[in-house]
Structure formats: structure tokens, C-alpha cells
Amino acid sequence: MKMIHLPVPGHEEATLEGYILDCEISLGQDTNRPAIVICPGGGYVYCSPREAEPVALRYAGRGFHAFILRYSTGWDAADFAPLQEVSWAIGYLRAHAEQWHIDPNKIATCGFSAGGHLALAAGLLADNKPNAMILGYPAVTTPNTPQSNFMVKLLAGKQTVTDEDCARFSLENFITPDAPPVFLTATAEDGLSPYGALLVANCYSRLGLGYELHMFQHGPHGYALADETTADGSSQVLNAAFAHWHDLSVQWLYRIFGQLTFTDKSTSRMGKIMADMGLIPGGGADFA
């Protein structure tokens, strides 16, 4: 596995981190794989670590190249800087698709809460759009209320916002017939954003677009992987039922992008290395 850490040009606080799976022709692993760009939640106030590296590693463990966008937060998010950053990240992956064995037509965004807002915005508004989106308890709509207009204040870069400002960042207003397919998951007891997942599903349904919605009954906001990996010492974010969302999202991605394919070829380098060392004759095929 190759790991990268890159600054986002022109955005001092933003970075793109990546886990690129081994892709060596000699190992028969030169198949182009799908990629996931993960946008952690945190209300655009910060990027939650619980929804970053653990999620990326889980997708990498299922055969996807996985990247974490630590986008601008706080007042650095003004002028919707995170949207510019996720668009750059997707474009950067496509520009390096041949080098990293990424299928440029199989790039998904995955986001949680405010990161779900950003992952969806990428598919609706970015110059470089993903081919699919995975949204966990997304904060989709931003009415002019204290519960949501703080995000608008940060994205607009001003302390006082209007209804028009809030409408600008309410993404249900921008879902069109060419929107990418979306996977949605949330809990009915989430006091913050179950409505966001239902709202997106309703818009997609009315337009006849591809979507999959999994609404689990129990649990609060912010489950992440909902198991010990992301519990961070709190039993409140453990939920065996909700933890199935990740497997469900992988199965959905396989249906959208197609199953991963592999060649019938050994991945052992032992024979070649032994032959190079003069320990065995020839190319060491018997050890391949």
C-alpha cells in the first residue's frame, strides 16, 4: 500500500491523504480500481477523525483506493472553499488515474453529516463531479434556524445570513436529472439529520434517479462505522444494526461500478527474488 499526503493548492489548511493499494503488473494486480474520496463530518467547524482514517481503511480493506479530504473548516470555509477542494481532489485523482491504477469513471465521494453535505455538493455543483455518492446522516438542507444556519455562516463567510444565503446551500434545490447515483443511510432517532436522507431520497424518487436508502430505527447522530473501530470510548456510538451500512454501501458500489476483477496469477515474488540471488536457476517459475 502506498500512502500520500498532499496539500490542496491555494488552501492552506486543506489536505488530501490517500491509501493506494498495490498495483504491480508483476503481481497480476494491474487492474484499475474504483476510488473513494471521504469527507469527514463536523459541521464545517472541524473534520471528525472518527469519520476519516477508520472509514478510509475499511474501504481499502474491501479493495478500493481510499482518500481522505481534510477540507477547510471554520472561517476558512468561506466562499464554500470545501467545494473547491473536493472538486480539486476528484480532478487530481483523475489526472493521476493511470499512475495509481484508478478507474477515472469510478470515483465516489463518501461523507458524513456536514461531510455528507459536501459529498453531495460535489455531485451536484462541482466542476469535477464524482460518479457516485455515499451519504451518512447527511446535513443536506440549511434553513435559517440556529440548528443549521451556523454552517451557512461559515460557508458564506459572514456572521449574519439571510434566507437567500441559506437557500444557496440547501442542496435539495440543486438536484437535477443528471445527478450521480446516491447511497443514503441514517437513523430515525437522529435528532439532527434523518430528514436530510429522506429529502434526498424523495427528490431522487421524483426524478426517477438511482438511489438506495437505509433508514435504521435506533441511534443518535454521528455513528461513523458504529463499531469498536470508531467508538472512541463511547458506547453511545456502538450499534450492530447500523454497522451494516458499510457492507451495504460496498455491495451498492459493486452494483453501480461492477465487481472487482482479478487475474488468475500468483502474487508471490519469491521465485523471481531467489532466481535473482542465484539460489535457483531460471525465472523461478516453480516458486511463482
Q: Does residue 62 carry a pLDDT above 80?
A: yes
Q: At residue 65, what are phi and psi to the nearest 5 degrees?
A: -65, 135
The whole model's pTM is what? 0.90
Q: In the 8-state DSSP scheme, what is residue 9?
A: T
Confidence of residue 220 (pLDDT cuts 50, 70, 90): confident
Confidence of residue 218 (pLDDT cuts 50, 70, 90): confident
Nearest to 110 by CA among 93, 95, 131: 131
Helix axes 81-95, 114-125, angle to 10 degrees: 60
Helix, coil or strand: residue 16:
strand
What was the pLDDT predicted at 129? 98
Q: Does residue 284 carry a pLDDT above 60?
A: no
Cα-Cα end-to-end distance for the chain: 21
Return all residues near 230 (Cβ < 8 A) that are at least 6 apart: 50, 51, 54, 55, 223, 224, 237
What was the pLDDT predicted at 24? 59
Instruction: Taking residues 8-33, report their average pLDDT.
Output: 81
Nearest to 81 by CA among 73, 70, 91: 73
- Report which of residues 212 and 29 the model is more confident about: 212
The residue whose grid cell reads 491509501 is: 19
CA-to-CA dists, residue 202 to 123, 195, 206, angstroms = 17, 10, 6
Instruction: Taking residues 51-63, report their average pLDDT.
Output: 95
Instruction: Taking residues 217-240, report their average pLDDT.
Output: 80
Confidence of residue 194 (pLDDT cuts 50, 70, 90): confident
Nearest to 36 by CA among 108, 111, 121: 108
Instruction: Taking residues 86-92, report their average pLDDT.
Output: 98
The residue whose grid cell reads 483506493 is: 65
Q: Which three cell numbers stand for residue 129?
A: 463531479
Q: Where are the alpha helices (DSSP H) in the chain?
A: 53-60, 81-95, 97-100, 114-125, 149-156, 163-168, 194-207, 245-257, 270-276
The string of pLDDT tens digits covering residues 140-165 is 999 898 878 999 999 999 999 999 99
Q: Does residue 127 carry a pLDDT above 80?
A: yes
